[in-house]
Amino acid sequence: MKTFSRIAAGAMILATVATTSMAEDYPSQPIEVVTHASAGGGTDTTARTMLIRARRELGVDAFVQIKKGGGGAVAMSYASGKAADGHTLMAITPTHLITMARGRAPIGIDEIKGIARSTDDPIIIVVNKDTGIESLEQLIESSKSSPVKWGGTQAGGIDHIAAMTFANKSGAKVAYVPFDGGGAIITNLMGGNLQAAGLNYGEAVDGIESGDFVPLAIMAQERLAILPDTPTVGELGIDGVNFSTVRGVIVMKDVPADRAALLEEKLIKGMSHGTYQAYLSGIGLDASSVAGSEVWDAQIREMYDNIYTTLGELGLRK
Amino acid sequence: MDVLGGLLEILQPTTLLLIMAGTIVGVLVGALPGLSSSMAVALLLPFTIYLEPIPAIAMLAALYCAGTFGGSITAILINAPGAPPAAATAFDGYPLAKRGEAGKALGMAAVSSVAGGIFSLVVLILAAPALATIAYRFGPPEYFALTVFGLSMLASISGKSAVKNLIGGAFGVLLATVGVDLTTGVERFTFGVPQLYEGISFIPVLIGLFAMAELLDQAGQKDSPLERFNMSALKLPGLNDFKRVWKTILRSSGIGTFVGILPAEGSTVAAMMGYNEAKRWSKNKENFGKGEIEGVAGPEAANNAATGGAMVPTLALGIPGSATAAVILGGLQIHGLRPGPYLFENQPNLLYAIFFAMLIANFVFLGFGLIGAKHFSRISLIPRQFLWPTVFCLCVVGAYGVGQSMSDVYIMLVAGLIGYFLNRAGFSPAPIIMGLVLGHLVENSLAQSMILFDQDLGQFLSRPIALFFFALAILSIASSPLSAWLKGRRRADAPAYKDLNE
């Protein structure tokens, strides 16, 4: 009996030691990255490419967990239901911010914390060269006699919000034509059905280089290194039109700060490796896409405010 | 020279081995409902980083080709299309298998898939850059007219009554409206359920309407004695069968290549149109839906021709021609390659290498398909008491696999129940599927056209391509009453014969 209690006491001590060391030993189990989009899409490919090196940096396995539906709402309710121990990350895009702003998400903007940005692809306003338009002012002016046919993705999505925010702040008249995907927007801009569109650099590059598309302005704070002659919308005197196809990872804000900091450090180190950088240049981006918590978290919040306002003006917010 | 260079790039042992592996994985993934070739390509993508660009992309392209064929295997054997493009194959493939001619249907699917695939690839190798510009000619008004033409066959797509086909088609279009509307951003028929926000996914409905409904029907016959097919079920199609279908195969290959080139369309629409046209031009119209071999050749040649077609805008313009092509596009980008006119001018070797990889993949799955047909068709010899419970598991896993969500499983079960009762009431699933496939397109392209036309319907008249397809649609609808009227006249002209005969 005595021997047994001694063994039991020993085992209890051991167990206590084990749990304490487990707590300090973070990460201790595979890291899960929750996404909202189907396998093979941009978000999925970005997350998977990011994880190739991140696994090695973190020293544990990492995998992508797809939870489709509700414009990210299903992914958000899944991720927010997991323990806030830093083993669950969520890859977010402007779609999630829109779902939050429309009041359809189980969580609000104040419940998340940005960890690292993985892509930042500002929207460029381009026109078909056959329109003869060469500057943003000309576009605004000519739209007043007949609204400019402007292509983008789903109504209520980021392209729509960007186009309408631009229209509101510049006075341009925009007839927004929604399409299923980026490919259809480009073919219709090329074929002359559309006069203008908000495109990412990777989508517009072929048309710009062949001279079929004319880039007028960039919806970002700074010019793009690859398009040094194209001004930002802000330079032309129209403020607060900053929209970008951004992707990045977040955690719930209850995750301990030291764990969040460790995640930030390791993920950024992983993304600075050649594998991820080659992916970035393949989609027409550069190393400036990758940014830490400070920049990324502020960007999420600025974009959220813009989205919230424009959705209200479009009557698409409750 | 470029063409030869491309061929030499492919004829390396490792590359050939990878193409082989890609093909076999493709057939298996394609055959399993719920696993799609786009998913398989996406999952393989990170692994290809360690390969050279040509072998990597060759493997993915081979997987893509083979995946489209794979879907037909389960469509024929257990009425569960492994992938949406195979839905139309089930219309006649399953009745054939049920009749004890599984081997014939599977063999025909393999041969017509390969014929369609090779046809489109030869066209591409000869004329890819020129063909790619077709994509620019197709704006929303043209898509709308093309879709209206597709829908014009709705009333006669199955042998059931025209009214029931139209009701079924309308139900399919109605299902397609669930979710956030593309052009207004307003939610329709979602009842506040977030899972319905992005619409009803296609695969669970497909599995439900076909496989689950058939399973319920089979369950109703549990007391009937075991029936066994004899070994002739394993027989492959003969020369006579091919003589009957070569025109269908050729026609469907052309349709498939054309539809594949149009971005946003794709194999599923191509297969539907291939089936429609096979029926329209067939001498045995009344056999369609009851196990007509032309009904297998038509969609299978078209959907595989569309995979080749879809690679044209993907590679030549950098605009994906289908979901899987979009993932392959991502693969090219991971390797630092930029598809588009630039690639065509500077690295033609790479392009031709991809086309040859797809060509080789076609021959690999021809062998695999023909040898496999003999073995796979044994599934139709399994007594249904044992087969269908297994199919049920496959249905559940397949529906879950699409989005890893239970809501898709519930959609599948509900679709199964609906399908079961509709079958009993004399409806066919074919028009429902057609309405669901074309419903999105017809509605969105009309809404887009109206914005482009400043809400002026008359501007459709200024689009020659659209007018051409509208004319075809009118002819298509008018042709059956017209031919009935002509027949009636001929009979009226020749009363004497009739009297003599009687």
Interchain pair A184, B263: CB under 8 A: yes
For chain B positions 209-248, those within 8 Å of chain A (CB to CB) are none
Residue with tokens 């080749």: B308
Taking a C-beta distance cutoff of 8 angstroms, is the pair B259, B304 a contact? no
Interchain pair B404, A68: CB under 8 A: yes
Query: Among residues A210, A209, A157, which one has the least CA distance to residue A182?
Result: A157
Option in A42, A74, A281 nearest B336 (CB): A281
When the candidates are 2.40.50.140, 3.90.1300.10, 3.30.565.10, 3.40.190.10, the CATH number that belongs to A124-236 is 3.40.190.10
Q: Strand A148-152's sheet: what is its strand order?
A: A174-178, A148-152, A196-199, A124-128, A213-218
Q: Is B166 on the interface with A (CB under 8 A)?
A: no
Q: How far apart are CA B316 and CA A131, in angstroms?
A: 25
> Residues B452-465: pLDDT tens digits?
999 999 999 999 99
Interchain pair A52, B46: CB under 8 A: yes
Option in B41, B323, B405 nearest A69 (CB): B405
Q: Testing the interface with B: which of A32, A34, A36, A38 to mutate, by most B Cβ within 10 A?
A: A38
Which residues in chain A touch residue B334, judged by CB atoms under 8 angstroms apart? 45, 49, 278-279, 282
For chain B positions 299-328, those within 8 Å of chain A (CB to CB) are 313, 317-321, 323-324, 326-327
CA Rg, chain B, in Å? 23
Q: Residue A181: CA atoms inside 13 Å, Cβ hemisphere, count?
A: 13
How many CB atoms are located within 10 Å of the residue A50 CB?
28
Query: Among residues B119, B27, B113, B38, which one has the least CA distance to residue B322?
Result: B38
How many CB atoms are located within 10 Å of the residue A59 CB?
10
Q: Which superfamily, per CATH, for A27-120+245-314?
A: Bordetella uptake gene, domain 1 (3.40.190.150)
Q: How far is B135 from chain A (nearest CA, A)?
A: 7
Q: How far is B50 from chain A (nearest CA, A)?
A: 10
Give the pLDDT band (50/70/90) at residue B53.
Answer: confident
Q: Testing the interface with B: which of A52, A64, A68 to mutate, by most B Cβ within 10 A?
A: A68
Nearest CA in chain B to A47: B46
Residue B57: predicted pLDDT: 87
> Residues B135-169: pLDDT tens digits?
788 889 998 998 898 888 788 777 678 899 899 99
Nearest CA in chain A to B325: A40
Distances (CA, A) of A200 to A131, A150, A215, B321, B485: 20, 14, 11, 19, 57
Nearest CA in chain A to B137: A191
Q: Residue B479: CA atoms inside 13 Å, Cβ hemisphere, count?
A: 12
Q: How far apart are CA A115 and CA A222, in angstroms?
A: 22
Per-residue pLDDT tens, chain A, 318 aa: give them. 455 555 555 555 544 444 444 446 888 999 999 999 877 678 888 998 899 999 999 999 999 998 888 889 999 999 999 999 999 999 999 999 999 999 889 999 999 999 999 999 999 999 999 999 999 999 999 999 999 999 999 999 999 999 999 999 999 999 999 998 767 888 899 989 999 999 988 888 888 988 999 999 999 988 988 899 999 999 999 988 889 889 999 999 999 999 999 999 999 999 999 889 988 887 778 888 999 999 999 999 989 998 999 999 888 887
Taking a C-beta distance cutoff of 8 angstroms, is the pair A200, A123 a contact? yes
Of residues B305 and B369, more confidence is placed in B305
Domain coordinates of chain A in residue numbers?
Answer: 27-120+245-314, 124-236
For chain B positions 401-440, those within 8 Å of chain A (CB to CB) are 403-405, 407
Strand, coil or helix: B481: helix
